[in-house]
C-alpha cells in the first residue's frame, strides 16, 4: 500500500543514529576533539612529536575532507571555544 517502510516501527527497531541525530557543529567539534586527543595520545604513549602537520592530517581524516578545509573547520571550532587560531 502507500505506507512508508518505517510505518508502525517503534523506536527500539530504529537505527540508533536515526534516534540520536547530531547537529553538524557537534559532529565537527567531536571530530576536532578526536583528532586532538589522537595527537596527544600518540605524543604521550608513543613519543610521536606534536606538530601542526600531524594534527592537520588527523583532522583531515576525522572530517573526511582535504587538509585546508579541515583546518578552516578547526579554526571555526576554536573560535567558538574562545581559542586562538592555529594560523
Residue 53 lies in a domain: yes
pLDDT mean over 41-70: 95
The cell numbers describing 80, all together, are 567558538
Residue 7 lies in a domain: no
Residue with the three cell numbers 576525522: 62
Residue 4 lies in a domain: no
The cell numbers describing 56, all together, are 592537520
pLDDT mean over 43-58: 96
What's the residue count for the chain?
87
Range of the domain at 70: 22-81
Say what the pLDDT of residue 13 is.
52
Measured CA to CA, the distance from residue 60 to residue 74 in angstroms comes to 10
33 Cβ contact list (under 8 Å, min separation 6) = none
Residue 32 lies in a domain: yes
Say what the pLDDT of residue 69 is.
94
Residue 14 lies in a domain: no
Residue 66 lies in a domain: yes
Residue 46 lies in a domain: yes
Buried b (16+ CB within 10 A) or exposed e, 13-31: eeeeeeeeeeeeeeebbeb
Please state the domain count of the chain: 1
Residue 61 lies in a domain: yes
Amino acid at each position: 500500500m502507500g505506507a512508508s517502510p518505517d510505518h508502525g516501527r517503534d523506536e527500539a527497531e530504529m537505527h540508533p543514529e536515526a534516534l540520536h541525530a547530531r547537529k553538524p557543529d557537534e559532529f565537527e567539534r567531536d571530530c576536532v576533539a578526536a583528532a586532538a586527543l589522537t595527537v596527544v595520545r600518540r605524543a604521550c604513549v608513543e613519543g610521536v612529536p606534536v606538530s601542526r602537520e600531524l594534527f592537520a592530517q588527523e583532522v583531515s581524516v576525522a572530517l573526511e575532507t582535504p587538509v585546508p578545509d579541515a583546518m578552516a573547520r578547526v579554526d571555526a571550532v576554536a573560535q567558538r571555544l574562545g581559542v586562538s587560531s592555529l594560523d
